[in-house]
Structure 1
């Protein structure tokens, strides 16, 4: 029986641990904090718990439109929301603990330090140490929020995304620095909670990610403005002054494209959501000989093995050069466990769906229009507006778009982009279609139930077939 040591228990670490244990390996999972990593404790799950409350608040405020009478003066109770968030986290963490016990995965509590592919040293919070011997090591320690010199966090007025999830009240006014996924999600949540929100993004659009189609970014920008969220693109925060319970922010143009910038303005709180850095302090990478890039992200080959034979790396520790998503981390974990000792299947990053929980939601998979054109593909794009679906009208959520990127010659589906209610769920069919090599014709001939939102993808492919 081979022995495997995994440092870090987020989606990458626990997925690898469970897969390896099921394959008959003896697994030790090293974790210095709570099981579940960033995703469970300060990322995916708590933010979606907040978002669920935000969605209900939005419904309450529009209850008269649904012929529901009664008080519409709903408000968020942050103390109870924090209790609910912590309860959800505890429940899921207990599930991970039970899975470890059921699969005989040993859990070593403490900070892991890589000694070699055969040895990891674990230092507990009381200072005691133990050495774990094995045949291979997987590094899955994840990342932490990036802090900006111009915006030093104080955990009161200037917060990282971690600190935001522990607020016991809703600030009256908020500036969110960074219009990426986390920033846009937080903007929608706290606007629903009643805050005045401004988003500042250095690039020329919200969600400036290659995988997010520019048309979808523009649609989200429009909907955020409709919701009363102020958006400033092409601008960075150059300086912050804290005083009298407020933060005064000074901005500057991020590039020559913007001729003017907003004058200094004051907010009660600033949320810094500009990116993440590897959480590798004390991991012993340099001493062990693990090669990292200039920013500290671990470098691997296509099988996710580092420069040290027998030491693998998965999840956020690989950085933005890969794909920093929980479900990709889990896929990397499965790949490494499958390849241990044989290295026959490179990790595939060609088809990774994204789920963005803004209002409206965004789901995308495959190539954006710009990416397809950059690859020299002859493409055509087909669109269907969410308002064309009867279910969307019944729900009172008609803002949104289905967009398909198709190879004009082969008719293969290259990418799908959805913005609207439940887009994060709807994108799964598109991902399966592209993975299976289905054409728009194949999807169009698949009967979709009516009235549903899912039939929007079927209608979109029907349009593509006839166009």
Structure 2
């Protein structure tokens, strides 16, 4: 039995604690805030609670097209939504604490500081006390990043945490950053009734290598259909707030484009800044302990997720964009570290699905067409429009496209990129197919129920098998 101390109780931290306790280790979980971390309190769960209300509101507004009368005048009740969000997160946090208690995990409320691989000093409101350990796992996560030209005042200029506390829907919103969080917020608040503008410095929305360009193109089209204004290749150079209105000066994101992109002015009741994250490492004592970090403060680890101090591991968002900053990857990293405490082994990042809760949703796994080509693989791409599915028409949600990336010689599935209703659920089958090395032919010979959205992946693979 080992003594394991885990600092941080987000998806990485609590998963590691549960796995270690079930394996018979003595576990201390250190948390300075609420159990559950960013994912539960200011990330995945609250935003999806907002998204659920946005989706419900859209269904009510379009109820007439489903032969339902008498649904006019629906609007979001923000105080009630905040109460629902807090109830959901509170219930889940309580469940995590009960699991800790049932597994015999010691939950310490305080801040952890690493002195060496065998000791963490925990500072509470009352005192500081050393906790002896055989191993330490750092899982402290990340927090919203401020822009120097647009620092959050938490009233008019808001970070993603602040947005989840809004008690009213701003009449107009400018979202700075067209990544995952920015695009999700744009869709949600447009459904809530705000006039929304998205500013993105790069040439497309969701400028992430793992997201196929076809998905970005379709999302841009669908967002514009709802009235969301999108300005690409631009950034904010300055902002001033006057009488409750934020005035932004925009310009070309790249100096070489300054001649082609004219400076502009935007005004909004609120600005959401969603340009990235920074590590939560302050007060951990990393420098004094000699634990290596990148110039931006992310913790450096080897392939086994071990830091430069043997016996001390780091998982989750605190590793930064060099790894995969997703809650489910943090959980996978946690289980991997705990399973290999006796003999550290490399962590596998080859098949990690991503779920983007825009309207329509996007689910991606494996290689994009560009990534596969860059690897020198012979690539074949297959497309299926969501409007080809009977279930999509029955639901009244026909916007979307499914894309399959296969090896041109043996038809092995290399990547799947799905944009459409429930794409974040449908991507799981594609992940399993890639994980098991399945070919498009294998999926095409697996009977899928009809009429379902899941048969869209079947039809996509059937189409690829015939090429």
Please indicate, yes or no, whether the TM-score normalized by the shorter chain is above 0.5. Answer: yes
Counterpart for residue 394 of structure 1: 394
1: CA distance, partners of 2:147 / 2:439 = 46
Counterpart for residue 118 of structure 1: 118
- Confirm or deny: 8 A CA contact 1:248 1:266 kept in the other structure: yes
Counterpart for residue 380 of structure 1: 380
Cα offset, 1:127, TM superposition: 4.9
2: CA distance, partners of 1:262 / 1:411 = 48
TM-score by length of 2: 0.99
1: CA distance, partners of 2:219 / 2:396 = 17
- Confirm or deny: 8 A CA contact 2:139 2:316 kept in the other structure: yes
Residue deviations 1:29-76 (CA, integer Å, cap 9, x gap): 000000000000000000000000000011111111001000321000
Counterpart for residue 211 of structure 1: 210
Counterpart for residue 319 of structure 2: 318
- Please state whether the residue corresponding to 2:382 is helix, strand or coil: strand
Decide which moves more: 106-115 or 253-262. Answer: 253-262
Cα offset, 1:129, TM superposition: 1.3
Residue deviations 1:89-140 (CA, integer Å, cap 9, x gap): 011001101110111010000111111111111111x252121111110000
Once superposed, which parts of structure 1, at least 4 consecutive aligned residues long, lie more than 3 Å away? none
Counterpart for residue 336 of structure 1: 337
TM-score by length of 1: 0.99
Counterpart for residue 452 of structure 1: 452
Counterpart for residue 71 of structure 2: 71
2: CA distance, partners of 1:72 / 1:237 = 38
**What is the Cα-based RMSD across aligned positions, in Å?**
0.8
- Please list, as runs of the form range in 1=range in 2, the aligned pairs for 1:181-192 lying within 5 A after superposition: 181-192=180-191
Cα offset, 1:79, TM superposition: 0.3
Counterpart for residue 41 of structure 2: 41
- Please list, as runs of the form range in 1=range in 2, the aligned pairs for 1:289-300 lying within 5 A after superposition: 289-300=290-301
- Please state whether the residue corresponding to 1:221 is helix, strand or coil: helix
- Confirm or deny: 8 A CA contact 2:9 2:35 kept in the other structure: yes
Cα offset, 1:369, TM superposition: 0.5
- Confirm or deny: 8 A CA contact 1:303 1:336 kept in the other structure: yes
Residue deviations 1:186-235 (CA, integer Å, cap 9, x gap): 00000000000000000100000000000110000000000100000100
Cα offset, 1:434, TM superposition: 0.6
Stretches of structure 2 that go unaligned for 5 or more consecutive residues are none
2: CA distance, partners of 1:43 / 1:338 = 27
Counterpart for residue 252 of structure 2: 253
2: CA distance, partners of 1:336 / 1:117 = 15
2: CA distance, partners of 1:341 / 1:442 = 38
1: CA distance, partners of 2:439 / 2:201 = 38
- Please list, as runs of the form range in 1=range in 2, the aligned pairs for 1:208-247 lying within 5 A after superposition: 208-247=207-246
1: CA distance, partners of 2:445 / 2:418 = 20
1: CA distance, partners of 2:289 / 2:72 = 60
When residues 313 and 152 of structure 1 are mapped into structure 2, their CA distance, relative to the original with a 3 A threshold, is same
Cα offset, 1:282, TM superposition: 0.6
Counterpart for residue 431 of structure 2: 431
- Please list, as runs of the form range in 1=range in 2, the aligned pairs for 1:132-211 lying within 5 A after superposition: 132-211=131-210
1: CA distance, partners of 2:284 / 2:363 = 35
Residue deviations 1:292-325 (CA, integer Å, cap 9, x gap): 0100010111110000011000000000000000
- Confirm or deny: 8 A CA contact 1:235 1:261 kept in the other structure: no
Cα offset, 1:442, TM superposition: 0.3
- Please state whether the residue corresponding to 2:264 is helix, strand or coil: coil
Counterpart for residue 409 of structure 2: 409
Residue deviations 1:309-359 (CA, integer Å, cap 9, x gap): 11000000000000000000000001100110211x310011100000000
When residues 399 and 262 of structure 1 are mapped into structure 2, their CA distance, relative to the original with a 3 A threshold, is farther
1: CA distance, partners of 2:114 / 2:274 = 30
1: CA distance, partners of 2:28 / 2:238 = 46
- Confirm or deny: 8 A CA contact 1:236 1:251 kept in the other structure: yes
1: CA distance, partners of 2:380 / 2:257 = 30
Stretches of structure 1 that go unaligned for 5 or more consecutive residues are none
Cα offset, 1:261, TM superposition: 3.5
Cα offset, 1:262, TM superposition: 5.5
- Please state whether the residue corresponding to 1:250 is helix, strand or coil: strand
Residue deviations 1:219-275 (CA, integer Å, cap 9, x gap): 000000001000001000000010110000001101234712362121000000000
- Please list, as runs of the form range in 1=range in 2, the aligned pairs for 1:5-84 lying within 5 A after superposition: 5-84=5-84
